[in-house]
Structure 1
Amino acid sequence: MTGSDPKADLQVYLQDARDALLWKLDGLPEYDIRRPLTPTGTNLLGLVKHLAGAEALYFGAAFGRPFPGTPLWITGDAEPDADLWARADETREDITGRYRQACARADETIAALPLDAVGRVPGAPAGTTLHRVLTHMVAETQRHAGHADIVRELIDGAVGQRPDGLNVAPRDPAHLDRVERAAREAAARGN
């Protein structure tokens, strides 16, 4: 039996979510990666931009290791939700490049510090550890990768955690019909 390495385990899940998020942009035109697809404005490139800032804040500034060149769109005099959408003058390459840079620098912080290293995360309790930050970022990135999955499905039907689609059941129109019938029956019964 082999031992477990909690830091390595968390990094695997974080990297898996990072990769899933980025592939959601693959093959799509500029308009589709930017357009709002929910009433709150959720869009693919905005999710990447948001997570670039989160990686920079949580793994950089919080541990006294600020990331040069990676802006924190959620601080200073930025307009509300500036981190959740891309301006016309911000390119896909700029935002995804900054995300990759923030992830690489985050990985350096994770490698350099023990899980019990304490950081200062705005709005979090004093004494927040790297372990807690790493756990939070796995959850945060997976959450937004899930948002990206739904948004991408609305754009062109592509779904899943990986481009090969092997982790998704094949589309079955009969299944969709069963779900719809069950929803209507439940509503008619007053459930």
Structure 2
Amino acid sequence: MGDPLQDDSWLIGKGLTMSILQNPLRTHLEVTGEEVFLAPPHWHLYHGEQHVVLKGRVKLTQNGVTRILTPADGTVYTPPGMVHSLESFPGEELSLDEVAKPSAETTAQKIIFFRNMFAPGVLQSLLSTMQVFYFGDGYPEFPFGIRWIEWAFVVVVGGWLAPLLGYQLPDKRLRLDPNRFPPSKKD
């Protein structure tokens, strides 16, 4: 079902579907429970995220504090710089929306981030994954949580090494970091 580079709905795993929804623009995750969805601990320097559970429940960890979110929790915000992760529950259905902040343009770029991340072969390669992180304002959390090392790893591996070895983004429109890629900058 679907090609992440062309379609507005695609499979990201067994029973895991990501979709792009409009009015308002957002990403939508459907989990049937066949496979667990996991977004490992990571952080963003320039954008925050709002999550809304529409059905089921999800485990959200923010800066080491874990909460179980349900539809009753409404919108939950993760600000820039906060380490966070998401995990569904085995055998349980989940319906979850995400909007990136501060603007609709940020959400549009986040959608391009997801299109790149779930393009064929990207998640199977550390270099490809870190390249998407580099262009998409994403930084994995490492043991001991030293942010400058996490940032430098993404810049060196995703920003320098991957292109040097011929890796390219599947969708080259990704430019989520406004300081690294200001609107006036042309590649």
Given the two structures, how large is their TM-score scaled by the length of structure 2? 0.29
Higher RCO, 1 vs 2 (CA within 8 Å, ≥6 residues apart): 1
Greater fraction of residues in strand: 2
In proportion to residue count, which structure has more helix?
1
Q: TM-score, normalization: structure 1?
A: 0.28
